[in-house]
Amino acid sequence: MKKLRVGINGFGRIGRAIFRINYLNNYFDVVAINDINPDNHNLAYLLKYDTTYGRFSGTVVDNSQSIKVDGKKINIHHQENIVNVPWDKYNVDVVIESSGVKNNLSYINDLKKRVKNVLVTYSPENVDQTIIFGCNENELDPQNNFLISSSICDTIALSPIIKTIEKITKIEHGYLITLHPWLSYQNLLDGPSASWSQPGDVFSHYALGRSSPMNLIPKSTSAVLAAEKIFPKLTDRIHSFSFRVPTSIVSGSVLIVHVTEKIEKEKLVKIFNQAEKNQKYDVFKNTTEPLTSLDYTGEKHSVIIDHRWTNVNRNLIKLVYWYDNEWGYSSRVVDLVKAIGKKYSKSK
């Protein structure tokens, strides 16, 4: 299969994780990167050294126009608008939009004649297709869907669980509570809560501007709302809530759902174990090891169900699960680019 030529728009936490994962697997060629940080030496430095995931294993050299990884040139640009990057000059097939800046999607149609697809690493309203592994990856159709979403980290962990439960029974209603590590737009000390996705805006949710290392910060979460791309009207059945917690990586969640039919705990665990055994991609992992959040750093699976805490009371199911909100999520983005490449190869 001919490798896709890929551009990355936004070389932050997710963009660099995608780059690192692909470097280890060599599924596609990253030929261009766009980031508003004007310092190429700093971009190279951040790729080489990472507090969460350690040193990059390759050799990285930079100059004013590019960086070289193991001698292979990657062109660097610093445009605020995604359409101002000459992706077509580098014969880019797929642009990964990982900046998180919503305004980029306002101009995305201008890229239709220049690249095959844009893959967005969040869940905006107007996309042509949303793909969540473990749910609908067989429906991927990049030839007829230009703008494809890989959803968000919370949703790619939740959705396969819902899909698996609803193969045997119907979820009537339930609650999701998520503990999510801090993100880069949060503050070390109290201050205004500045928006990342809409630069210049300040969130009306003032609590999100409070000191992130010092607080548990209650906030809403779009985990269930984003899952509605796969499960229509899911927010009518499952309500969600989250805390931003003073940790740097790995999310944990508690899902409690009431189902229409009684099920035994042993049968439920067996179903999830079977899902892990039969899966094509690294979606599920089941465990009973007595671990904590940091033990799952660098975990490539979308969701790790911690069956030490699995409980069933007649029609009521409780599940506790973990996910590396950067590495696990970015692993599925890499899988999605790989799957897009396969679709184009089969169509020839």
Check: CB of residue 130 under 8 Å from CB of residue 230. Answer: yes
Q: How far apart are CA 117 and CA 144, in angstroms?
A: 10
One-letter amino acid at 194 equals: A
> In the structure encoding, which two tokens stand for residue 30, read together?
């990253």
**Which of the following is catalytic: 30, 96, 153, 156?**
153
Q: Is 153 a catalytic residue?
A: yes
Check: CB of residue 241 under 8 Å from CB of residue 221. Answer: yes
Q: How far apart are CA 274 and CA 316, in angstroms?
A: 21
Distance of CA 203 to the CA centre of its chain: 22
For 320, the enclosing helix (H) or strand (E) is: strand 316-323
Q: How far apart are CA 235 and CA 69, in angstroms?
A: 44
User: Crossing angle, helix 153-165 and helix 265-278, to 10 degrees?
Assistant: 120
For 156, the enclosing helix (H) or strand (E) is: helix 153-165
DSSP 8-state code for residue 188: S
Ramachandran angles phi, psi of 323, nearest 5°: -165, 140
Which residues are marked as active site? 153
